[in-house]
């Protein structure tokens, strides 16, 4: 495909050693040649691909030297976009990189839209849609495991499996077409129906395997929304600080110190947690504290995991009991804190109210029990282990929804085949399954969805 030439800053804005302005398109090399001057007056258009060149950027209209640069030259088709790509490496100051971009735009390039470089890689067949989406997952990965999942998807692990499933459906559809075109052969249907059931069952089972990894994959991609709740002054902020290993929250002996929501990401045994330290939940006349308590209750409703902190040196209060009853049906771990003090908390009563035995004892003052808590979190969601290299993980919400739809339609096709429904009717569900799976890799997706997906990318990617 022929597109106009685009340019954008591809590194984060701010002060740094180096910044990169990327140019891609048919005119990328020519535009760079108009502003790039090397000591030997070389022309980039005559240079070999995948080489780097030292020189200066000079404004042709005024002969003003704009910046000292290193220019990376990559000619089509062996580039990310499969177009000519030039990357201008300049100093990382805000003024420097903006001057470089403005000069390149002045010479004929257009400012790229968010995600447009990756979109061109998709439209030019460099990557499929699932691989393109994995680029953003890789950028946003918060743990090594999340990064490994994104790398596997970028490498085409999910794409290859989806393509294999679609090929199996195509072979089945070919048999259906034979049956429709040559109905005079009685044995064709006898062959087709068992084949449809066999192939359809295999496709369904493979989709089922993918869906089994989806909850873990989505956690790795988006993180677990984890609410730390409890009465005031039981150690919620101390727990946040222990998990983050940094003093992010103010800790005092005064009840009600935390008035607002504090959020922080932390890596727990490869599981990304979005920790939310809430204001202590209690009845209060303080209007500011009451706002914080109301926010805490809202966070509690939206959380994937609840860490309910109790004071082991005190007996259960009415507020503790209400909290235990509220979270009884949620994924909850009780943290019995302050074990360095004489214990008064009735743990059996806690187990009875919670309805499960997920209690970790800690002394956050002495940094005891945090390792046990981290292990309990990993056990709760990943049964203690997670091997990202052995399985194809599905982490994208769009992919998960499509797989659920594909599972339903192929299941309908199998049921219809077993009930003796005419093959041309079964064909409808098989074709629909093939189309749904195609939406994952972008073969059957609408242009409006493509535009929406790539608009969520960062500028310059």
Beta strand spans in 245-358 (E): 262-268, 271-277, 305-311, 332-337
HSE toward the beta carbon, residue 135, CA cutoff 13 A: 22
Q: Do 91 and 67 contact (CB within 8 A), yes or no?
A: yes
Q: Give the pLDDT score at 459.
A: 66
Of 110 and 358, which is predicted with more confidence? 110
Q: What percent of the residues of the chain are helix, what percent strand, and what percent coil, each to the nearest 5?
A: 50, 15, 35
The per-residue b/e assignment along 98-129, b for 16 or more CB within 10 angstroms, e otherwise, is: ebbbebbbebebeebebbbbbbbbbbbebbbb
Which regions of 117-257 does DSSP assign to beta strands (E)? 224-229
Instruction: List Cα–Cα distances, 459 to 1, 13, 261, 454, in angstroms.
Output: 22, 11, 30, 10
Query: How high is the pLDDT of residue 393?
Result: 72
**How much is the pTM?**
0.67
Residues, the chain: 461
pLDDT of residue 290: 52
Kindly report which listed range (29-33, 114-118, 264-268, 317-321) carries the lowest average pLDDT score: 264-268
What's the pLDDT at 95? 92
- Percentage of the chain beyond pLDDT 70 is 83
Other beta carbons within 10 Å of 56: 14
Mean pLDDT of 101-116: 94
Q: pLDDT at position 293, please?
A: 56
At residue 403, the pLDDT reads: 94
> CB under 8 Å to 330, separation ≥6 — which residues?
303, 306
> Which pLDDT belongs to residue 191?
57
Q: Is 245's pLDDT higher than 60?
A: yes
Give the integer Cα–Cα distance in Å for 118 and 131: 10
Mean pLDDT of 255-271: 61
pLDDT, tens digit (0-9, with 9 covering 90-100), for 286-320? 444 455 555 666 667 777 888 889 999 989 888 88
383 by Cβ neighbours in 10 Å (0-12 / 13-18 / 19+) ranks as exposed
What pLDDT is recorded for position 189? Answer: 52
175-183, long-range: CB < 8 A, 24+ apart: 176/423, 176/424, 176/426, 176/427, 176/430, 179/423, 180/423, 180/424, 180/427
Give per-residue pLDDT as tens, 13-41: 888 889 999 999 999 999 999 999 999 99
d(CA 76, CA 112): 19
Give the pLDDT of residue 190.
Answer: 57
Query: What are the φ/ψ torsions at residue 226 (nearest 5 degrees)?
Result: -120, 115
pLDDT tops 70 at residue 186: no
pLDDT higher at 51 or 131: 51
β-pair type (224-229, 271-277): parallel
Place of tokens 């180096």: 18
3-state secondary structure of 224: strand
Residue 64 has pLDDT above 50, yes or no: yes
338 vs 247 pLDDT, higher one:
338
pLDDT at res. 357: 77
Listed residue (409, 437, 430) closest to 196, CA to CA: 430
pLDDT band at residue 248 using 50, 70 and 90 as cut-offs: very low
Average pLDDT for residues 354-381, to the nearest whole number? 85
Residue scoring higher pLDDT (157 or 5): 5
C-alpha closest to that of 380 among 295, 271, 230: 271
Distance CA 175, CA 190 (A): 11
Task: Check residue 301 and give its pLDDT.
Answer: 73
């Amino acid at each position: 495909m022929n597109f106009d030439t685009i340019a954008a800053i591809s590194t984060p804005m701010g002060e740094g050693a180096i910044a990169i302005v990327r140019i891609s398109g048919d005119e990328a090399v020519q535009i760079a040649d108009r502003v790039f001057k090397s000591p030997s007056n070389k022309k980039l258009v005559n240079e070999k691909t995948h080489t780097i060149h030292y020189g200066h950027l000079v404004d042709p209209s005024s002969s003003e030297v704009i910046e000292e640069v290193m220019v990376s030259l990559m000619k089509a088709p062996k580039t990310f976009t499969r177009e000519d790509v030039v990357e201008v490496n300049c100093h990382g100051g805000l003024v420097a990189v903006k001057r470089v971009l403005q000069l390149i735009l002045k010479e004929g390039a257009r400012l790229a839209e968010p995600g447009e470089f990756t979109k061109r890689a998709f439209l030019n067949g460099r990557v499929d849609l699932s691989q393109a989406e994995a680029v953003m997952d890789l950028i946003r990965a918060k743990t090594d495991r999340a990064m490994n999942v994104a790398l596997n998807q970028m490498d085409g692990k999910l794409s290859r499996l989806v393509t294999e499933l679609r090929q199996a459906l195509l072979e089945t559809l070919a048999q259906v077409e034979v049956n429709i075109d040559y109905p005079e052969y009685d044995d064709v249907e006898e062959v087709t129906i068992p084949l449809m059931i066999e192939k359809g069952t295999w496709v369904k089972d493979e989709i089922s395997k993918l869906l089994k990894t989806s909850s873990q994959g989505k956690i790795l991609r988006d993180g677990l929304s984890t609410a730390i709740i409890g009465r005031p002054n039981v150690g919620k902020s101390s727990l946040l600080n222990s998990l983050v290993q940094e003093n992010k929250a103010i800790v005092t002996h005064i009840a009600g110190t935390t008035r607002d929501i504090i959020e922080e990401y932390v890596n727990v045994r490869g599981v990304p947690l979005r920790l939310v330290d809430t204001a202590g939940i209690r009845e209060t006349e303080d209007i500011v504290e009451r706002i914080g308590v109301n926010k805490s209750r809202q966070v509690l409703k939206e959380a994937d995991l609840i860490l309910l902190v109790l004071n082991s040196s005190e007996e259960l209060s009415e507020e503790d009991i209400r909290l235990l009853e509220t979270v009884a049906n949620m994924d909850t771990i009780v943290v019995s804190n302050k074990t360095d003090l004489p214990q008064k908390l009735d743990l059996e009563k806690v187990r009875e109210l919670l309805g499960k035995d997920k209690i970790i004892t800690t002394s956050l003052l002495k940094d005891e029990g945090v390792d046990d808590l981290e292990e309990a979190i990993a056990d709760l969601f990943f049964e203690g282990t997670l091997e990202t290299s052995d399985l194809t993980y599905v982490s994208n919400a769009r992919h998960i929804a499509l797989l659920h739809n594909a599972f339903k339609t192929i299941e309908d096709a199998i049921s219809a085949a077993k009930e003796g429904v005419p093959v041309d009717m079964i064909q409808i569900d098989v074709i629909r399954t093939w189309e749904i799976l195609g939406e994952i890799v972008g073969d059957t997706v609408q242009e409006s969805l493509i535009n929406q997906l790539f608009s969520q990318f960062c500028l310059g990617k």
